[in-house]
């Protein structure tokens, strides 16, 4: 005997709850600190706790959405492209540096997936990489430089 099919909302809630729990477990290795002197685990623990709480609410109240079998998978290619660009950025960030990695990832998403005009792709990808790098540096965030010094 099988129960009602899992809805897409409940599956999403389950995935996010498991991700939040994994972050909470991984954060145990870092000092938590206090409210006045937060440690490196403070923000991840707070965000993961909020994520798990909201995911549990979605699990409880998400039964009215479509079943997974009835879901529309027409955007699966776009989701896979975004996931691939994120995986590339995570893997290449240290070796290529922030600006090159962000430029390549954005150029892929805008040029290959969105088929935007080349002049727009280059200007947006390079512009975003340079301006965000400058902003993060002004905020004191150290980002990796690539093999060419940028």
pLDDT tens digits for 31-44? 998 888 888 899 99
Report how far Cα 133 is from the mean position of its chain's Cα atoms: 18
- pTM higher than 0.75, yes or no? no
pLDDT tens digits for 120-140? 999 999 999 999 999 999 988
Distance CA 62, CA 13 (A): 8
- When computed from its CA atoms, the radius of gyration of the chain, rounded to whole angstroms, is 20
Are residues 111 and 124 in contact, defined by beta-carbon separation less than 8 angstroms?
Answer: no
């Amino acid at each position: 005997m099988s129960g009602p099919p899992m809805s897409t909302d409940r599956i999403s809630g389950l995935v996010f709850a498991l991700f939040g729990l994994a972050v909470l477990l991984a954060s145990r290795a870092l000092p938590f600190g206090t409210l006045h002197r937060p440690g490196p685990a403070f923000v991840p623990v707070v965000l993961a706790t909020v994520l798990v709480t909201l995911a549990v609410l979605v699990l409880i109240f998400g039964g009215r959405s479509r079943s997974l079998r009835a879901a529309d998978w027409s955007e699966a290619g776009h989701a896979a492209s975004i996931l691939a660009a994120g995986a590339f950025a995570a893997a290449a960030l240290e070796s290529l540096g922030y600006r090159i990695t962000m430029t390549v990832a954005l150029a892929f998403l805008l040029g290959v997936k969105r088929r935007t005009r080349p002049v727009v792709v280059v200007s947006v990808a390079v512009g975003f990489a340079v301006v965000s790098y400058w902003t993060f540096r002004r905020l004191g965030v150290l980002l990796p430089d690539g093999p060419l010094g940028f």
